[in-house]
């Protein structure tokens, strides 16, 4: 993925946590790889927590450097990366300060990218301030989630930003779409004749998508208590992954072809009747427990969380898609904090053979399944049945394993690195279009509204477990269970 596209990458929130852990390390890796970033490309950090460039570079050395290059830092590459960085100290709440930003970047080359690694309350003011000094013309803007609290607030932000930037200038980022296994899911489905005939209701019994975290809310208690797992994870990450799993083959991989097919899936999601939400949606909240031998507190005692909070930290859903390919196939989505393991994976459970000529052991061994793991180790694993050595026809589950770090010797690209390069090079396919976002909010809102009206407390679960028992019971009603394996 080489480029000679010159660019000026303006990073709002340049001293924030996201910039420190993800954005600047990703840009460094692209710089270190050579050829991915044009030599003339510049990074302009915007923040108030540094007085000048030298102070900001000191902050980068202290806080960003520990997050780059797992195998150590190439000091020559690091020095070259620092030479790319400029710094502008402005108050994002003062539109008049943006004159200083305009003056600082007006002579810098290439396409302008504005990355808003800030709270969503600043999105619209920053866009208006950019427009007031003419910086919105021929530029690209990257918006981090959350983009709104509900459909109404999301539309308000999109309307305001859309008055200043055209849709093709707006890059709504979802970093899960940049992960290597998600890219390989597209390759697996649309590059191989083996899987596409099986990727439908006749052969698939159910699909699970899990994003589980061991961490709690950490220092984000104030934010999380007003958000919850459904808004934070389901409305964006999980529904985006579902749309990629279930989409029809696009006629090409250009941005609108891919996003058109994802939109069709989101619009085909079966609406949930408020009377059925208790049957198809489980919400939970973690209590105290033990994670990897360490005692951890309950959510209600976390800093910034209301003691009587009813915010969910766990959600499990049964989802159906009303189209010919997937009619009758349940999709089970699950996400939560303080769970038993950190894992993100997609599990495709295939139907059992219609008649077992091999006896009871074939039934006990189970059916085929495909497991696409996104984290912590990125793999694709296909489970098949094979005969155990010895007398008799006794079957056991075995697997074919594609471990990317072993098969491909060159280093894998991190999600943010891929997505930032796509922004610089003008590739929109892996970014969320406005109509996709609206369709996701429209499907999620009845659940949010019913939970608000009913005011029922979330089901408790001990930290270090896999969530409320009701989550497993929901799958048991369909004759299946969550796949819970050791890493």
Domains and CATH numbers, the chain: 7-144 (3.40.50.720), 177-413+434-476 (3.30.360.10)
Mean pLDDT, the chain, rounded, equals 91
Going by C-alpha positions, the residue among 345, 338, 304 that lies closest to residue 458 is 338
**In DSSP terms, which residues pair with 286 in a beta bridge?**
461
pLDDT of residue 363: 58
Per-residue b/e over 183-197, b at no fewer than 16 CB within 10 Å? Answer: bbbbebeeeeeebee
Going by C-alpha positions, the residue among 394, 221, 245 that lies closest to residue 331 is 245
Going by C-alpha positions, the residue among 242, 238, 246 that lies closest to residue 213 is 238
Mean pLDDT (whole number) for 196-202: 93
Question: Is the Cα dihedral 346, 481, 237, 433 positive or negative?
Answer: positive
Q: How far apart are CA 129 and CA 217, in angstroms?
A: 32
pLDDT of residue 361: 59
Mean pLDDT (whole number) for 441-461: 93
| pTM of the predicted model as reported, rounded to 2 decimal places | 0.92
Instruction: Let me know: does 273 contact 449? Beta carbons within 8 Å.
Output: no
pLDDT in tens, 29-86: 999 988 899 999 999 999 988 889 999 999 999 999 999 876 678 899 999 999 999 9
Is 128 an annotated catalytic residue? no
User: Is the per-residue pLDDT at 406 higher than 80?
Assistant: no
Mean pLDDT (whole number) for 430-443: 96
User: Is the per-residue pLDDT at 468 higher than 60?
Assistant: yes
User: Is the per-residue pLDDT at 213 higher than 60?
Assistant: yes
Task: pLDDT band for 378, please (50, 70, 90 cuts).
Answer: confident
**Residue 240 burial (10 A CB sphere; 0-12, 13-18, 19+):** buried
pLDDT of residue 388: 80
pLDDT of residue 3: 55
Measured in residues, the chain has a length of 487
184, 231, 232 from 147: Cα distances, Å: 27, 10, 10
Q: List, as own/partner pairs, every contact residues 298-305 make where C-beta atoms lie below 8 angstroms and the sequence separation is at least 24, other chains included.
A: 298/463, 299/216, 299/217, 299/337, 299/338, 302/216, 302/217, 302/221, 303/219, 303/221, 304/217, 304/219, 304/220, 304/221, 304/222, 304/223, 304/224, 304/225, 305/217, 305/221, 305/224, 305/225
Q: How far apart are CA 287 and CA 302, in angstroms?
A: 10
Q: How far apart are CA 122 and CA 157, in angstroms?
A: 10
Going by C-alpha positions, the residue among 113, 126, 118 that lies closest to residue 147 is 118
Going by C-alpha positions, the residue among 150, 457, 154 that lies closest to residue 314 is 457
177, 334, 347 from 381: Cα distances, Å: 20, 20, 10
pLDDT of residue 277: 93
pLDDT of residue 394: 78
Structure tokens at 104: 């600082």
**Helices 123-132 and 151-162, packing angle to 10 deg:** 10
Give residues with Cβ within 8 angstroms of 239, minimum separation 6: 266, 269, 333, 440, 443, 444
Cα 378 from chain centroid (whole Å): 14
Complete DSSP assignment for 419-459: HHHHHHTT--TTSB-HHHHHHHHHHHHHHHHHHHHH-PPPE
Count of C-beta atoms within a 10 Å radius of residue 57? 16
Per-residue b/e over 4-38, b at no fewer than 16 CB within 10 Å? Answer: eebbbbbbbbbbbebbbebbbbbbbbbbbbeebbb
Q: How far apart are CA 373 and CA 96, in angstroms?
A: 47
pLDDT in tens, 364-373: 656 889 999 9
Instruction: Let me know: does 373 contact 181? Beta carbons within 8 Å.
Output: yes
Terminal-to-terminal C-alpha distance of the chain: 31
Give residues with Cβ within 8 angstroms of 1, minimum separation 6: 36, 413, 421, 425
Mean pLDDT (whole number) for 183-209: 91
Phi, psi (deg, nearest 5) at residue 100: -65, -40
Residue of 31, 175, 237, 287 with catalytic role: 237
**Residue 409 burial (10 A CB sphere; 0-12, 13-18, 19+):** exposed
User: Is the per-residue pLDDT at 355 higher than 80?
Assistant: no
3-state secondary structure of 461: strand
User: Is the per-residue pLDDT at 359 higher than 70?
Assistant: no
Question: Is the Cα dihedral 69, 72, 73, 76 positive or negative?
Answer: negative
pLDDT of residue 409: 62
């Amino acid at each position: 993925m080489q480029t000679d596209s010159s660019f000026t990458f303006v990073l709002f929130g340049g001293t924030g946590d996201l910039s420190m852990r993800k954005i600047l390390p990703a840009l460094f890796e692209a710089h270190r790889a050579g050829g991915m970033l044009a030599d003339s490309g510049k990074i302009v950090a915007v923040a108030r927590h540094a007085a000048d460039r030298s102070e900001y570079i000191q902050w980068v050395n202290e806080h960003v450097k520990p997050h780059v290059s797992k195998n150590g830092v190439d000091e020559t590459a690091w020095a070259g990366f620092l030479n790319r960085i400029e710094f502008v100290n402005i108050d994002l709440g003062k539109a008049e300060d943006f004159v200083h930003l305009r003056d600082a970047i007006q002579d810098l080359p290439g396409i302008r990218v504005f990355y808003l690694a800030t709270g969503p309350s600043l999105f619209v003011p920053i866009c208006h301030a950019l427009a007031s000094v003419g910086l919105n013309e021929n530029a690209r803007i990257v918006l981090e989630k959350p983009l709104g609290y509900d459909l109404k607030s999301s539309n308000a932000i999109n309307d305001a930003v859309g008055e200043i930037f055209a849709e093709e200038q707006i890059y709504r980022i979802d970093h899960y779409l940049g992960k290597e296994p998600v890219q390989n899911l597209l390759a697996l489905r649309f590059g191989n004749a083996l899987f596409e005939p099986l990727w439908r209701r006749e052969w698939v019994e159910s699909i699970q998508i899990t994003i589980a975290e061991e961490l709690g809310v950490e220092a984000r208690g104030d934010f999380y208590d007003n958000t919850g797992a459904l808004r934070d994870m389901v409305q964006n990450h999980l529904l985006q992954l579902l749309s990629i799993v279930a989409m029809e083959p696009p006629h090409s991989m250009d941005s609108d072809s891919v996003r058109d097919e994802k939109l069709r899936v989101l619009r085909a999601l079966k609406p949930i009747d408020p009377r059925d939400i208790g049957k198809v949606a489980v919400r939970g909240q973690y209590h105290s427990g033990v994670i990897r031998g360490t005692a951890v507190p309950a959510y209600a005692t976390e800093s910034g969380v209301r003691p009587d909070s009813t915010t969910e930290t766990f959600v499990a859903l049964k989802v159906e898609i009303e189209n010919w390919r997937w009619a009758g196939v349940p999709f089970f989505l699950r996400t939560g904090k303080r769970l038993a393991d950190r894992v993100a994976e997609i599990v495709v459970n295939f139907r059992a053979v219609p008649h077992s000529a091999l006896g009871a052991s074939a039934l006990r061994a189970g059916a085929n399944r495909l497991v696409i793991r996104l984290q912590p180790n990125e793999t694709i694993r296909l489970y098949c049945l094979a005969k155990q050595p010895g007398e008799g026809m006794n079957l056991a589950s075995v697997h074919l394993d594609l471990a990317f770090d072993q098969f491909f010797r060159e280093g894998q690209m991190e999600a943010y690195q891929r997505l930032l390069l796509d922004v610089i090079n003008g590739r929109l396919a892996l970014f969320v279009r406005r109509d996709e976002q609206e369709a996701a909010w429209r499907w999620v809102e009845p659940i949010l509204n019913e939970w608000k009206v009913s005011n029922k407390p979330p089901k408790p679960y001990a930290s270090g477990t896999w969530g409320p028992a009701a989550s497993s019971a929901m799958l048991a009603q369909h004759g299946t269970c969550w796949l819970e394996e050791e890493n």
